[in-house]
Structure 1
């Protein structure tokens, strides 16, 4: 019985029992479910929908989210175990537009639609390059194809030499190795050039528009100059500091309770607090509670609102305004959401 896992006098989970009965992952998930502090009848609620109502659409979204979460976890574990976090940081830390970072990420994931990838997915009858007829792959399209070679011949010789020294067939390892051997400026130039070559190939293959290697190299030079111009600091006139927002008091016959929540850096628990003042700002009372195993800020904000109601009862205040800085929690409470935070009464 679920009731055997709950300490009714304290309205909390019996943590030792939960951890004995369930495996670690399930125990952690159960302990993160907030419990109601008042006695209410049980009701059915579907956690995959904000209003607790089941639908096929919400079930599909939940399954897809779980699938993507597991894949991301496996990818992260693989990357961290092989010390690749620094390599990914070199990509996401580039001072270039997001579309170039996404291009580089797709290249590292071997998801660029080169002929070999499309052939493997049964989307092309052959894996040969559409420009020169050689066997195609990411390295051929961006480095070894005749068109790419002509573009690289117009680039910085030292950069190209360092780039070509890395002969790894795995695009991800190749990118990470070149990021270590090249300076930040050279690595940025290389990424922009790879992106420009890919864009030029797409124009030729799919639109029949041929851009000469000189034109592509000129585009790269101009694009890099624009990036440097954007990155230059701009002298701005000093701004006057914003005035701090003043407290908005409630009506004369009401009190106002401000609530907030916090999570420590170590995680594993959260804290909620509530402070009550009257219309003139006189302090009437406060409450603070440590909530074990729950570290979701939004859930904690809802629990802080519940604590505010308990504080109002303790102070015998019945005309109360509750102020929270979490719009998602406020909207959820206004909308009668039951499933997202458990039954918090």
Structure 2
């Protein structure tokens, strides 16, 4: 065999192995699209970003109520943990009824948990019709934890998703204020005893009560050395309708406890909270874990962040979600 012939065979081998090694990435296609889902007099955008070749679609159910889901992707022009996950998965950012660019009838009769559950079901059915072979990972943050846990109370709904990520979600609103107050006052006493910024924490103890503990828990982040990265909730955008949905839904949220009923949810669950999440207490998470009968429950704590861990610790957050999905 001539040297030229050998070289051609070797070159063919290199080309074949290179294509074989990178063949998967050649099939990848990044998607950046906006679609609209309409349900009961409301048209809601869903922003789709990520890797079209992925087997998984992460559906983001934002907090608030009334927050702008776009801020879950970019906050102050920095990449969030969810945006980082777009490198491996499709991430669908659903703008809920009354929030952001959603359009519809501004009537409080449409601002109920049951209505939002119906909206979520329409969004999931739409995702399944567009991507029939994708597995859906339901992601709920804060109020999104109330909404996703309410959705999962139905066996019909549970069949439509493959996993649930509860990121500091309010699956139990009946203890929301009480637990926030207990967490914040306990933290204040610890810092006072350790003589760390004692003047601030003594002042907080004089101010705090069950009703204002949620708001004060955000400002407390700026006074914890270990939690230097925090989200200023005053800079988060909310439309007039968003504020109205918030005011309408909150009385229902604080009367809702889905934890006992979630014993029927058996699919994999990732619980991810911030170390300093005094707003949605880790006690809500521990209560939920006592009821869950899921085959796989992963419990992760971000080390330096408060309530918005996907913005405060994007790399760590994305890594933990990625590890969880890889086990599905």
Under TM normalisation by the shorter chain, which class is it? under 0.3
* TM-score of the pair, normalised by structure 2: 0.23
Q: Who wins on radius of gyration, i.e. which is larger?
A: 1
The structure where strand makes up a greater share of residues is 2
